[in-house]
A = this chain, B = another copy of it.
Amino acid sequence: MPLTEPVPDVRSLDLLRSVAELGSIRQAAIRHNISQPAASMRLRTLELTLELQLLDRSHGRAQLTSAGVAVVRWSEEVLAPLRELLLGTQALRAAGKTNLRVAASMTVAEYLIPGWLQRLRTAHPGILVSLQMGNSRHCIEIMTRGDADIGFIEGPRAPRGLSSRVVRSDDLVVIVAPSHDWTHRTTPLTAKELAVTPLVLREVGSGTREVFESTMRLRGLDVLPLLELGSTTALKSAVESGAGPGILSRLAVQTEVRDGRLAVVTLADISFDRSIRLVWSKERPLGPPAKQLVRLIEESSTRARQL
């Protein structure tokens, strides 16, 4: 479903954040390289758009109202991912003049790279990253050609000729709509039940489909496709609207699960490993920028465990 109009402008939200930080519209305007009236007008437009009084101008300096404080806070959740998006696209554009070339599978690039870039930026602003995306096979090719310093792929085993290490766990999960019967199950789902249920799956040839089918085949079980879709988004929409249970990477559904739009079904006697593996050349040792990134990733995964 599209965004409910009217949509506040992100630059206005960012400006409001600066006003909160600096305590003055004037100063915020200067920092954003616009004139003071322009800033004043943007904030006014924002207030009209949201139909809320965000600033109290009756005492000389502009003071945030409680609604203003709340909006600033909520805006931070919008602005942080937007900054990550900008860093991500920047890395995609940056072909030359970078000191760290990263190759990543689609899943890693989509779900993990932006956060890592954000943290790398704050910890080591000097490092400029370029990003190449592809499937795992493609990434391995890039690495063996020496066109990237470091790579991230999914897969149970290390590719030959490259050193590798698991940096993050991931696995395929069964997802259903929150209204589905399976959300009320008291017993975990068995592999056998999964085999006889028509499922919403990614198309043949995708990494997700391959992992799922091969793991099931190892148990001597078949898969029964109900629907085959070519993208993660399409699959989520289908499951969400009640088409039936679907199979996707846990990373790919974490947001929807958190928001209650999808539910994960617990599995009894089967699991689909899809761990994420850091790979690098055996011949060439990791350079300092690459080492910084690796260290940061390891820190963030231990921190995630603590929380």
A binding-site residues for B, Cβ under 8 Å: 2-4, 7-11, 14-15, 17-18, 20-21, 23, 31-32, 50-52, 64, 66-67, 69-86, 88-89, 92-93, 106, 109-111, 114-115, 118-119, 122-123, 133-134, 178, 231-234, 237, 254-255, 257-261, 296, 299-300, 303, 307
Contacts and interface: CB of A to CB of B under 8 A. Distances in A.
Main secondary structure of the interface of A (DSSP, over half): helix
Contact of A133 (B70, B85, B86): B70
Contact of A85 (B32, B75, B122): B75
18 contacts: A3-B14, A3-B83, A7-B82, A8-B85, A20-B231, A21-B233, A50-B89, A51-B89, A52-B93, A69-B106, A70-B92, A74-B84, A74-B89, A77-B114, A78-B82, A80-B255, A122-B260, A122-B261
A303 B262 CA distance: 13
A11 B20 contact: no
- What is the count of identical protomers in the complex? 2
Given A72-B233, A110-B73, A259 B178 contact: no
Q: Which residue of A2, A18, A32, A76 has the most chain B CB atoms within 10 A of its CB atom?
A: A2
A21 B237 contact: yes
Contacts of A11: 3, 7
Nearest to A11: B7
Nearest to A252: B73
Contacts of A88: 70-71, 74
B178 A123 contact: yes
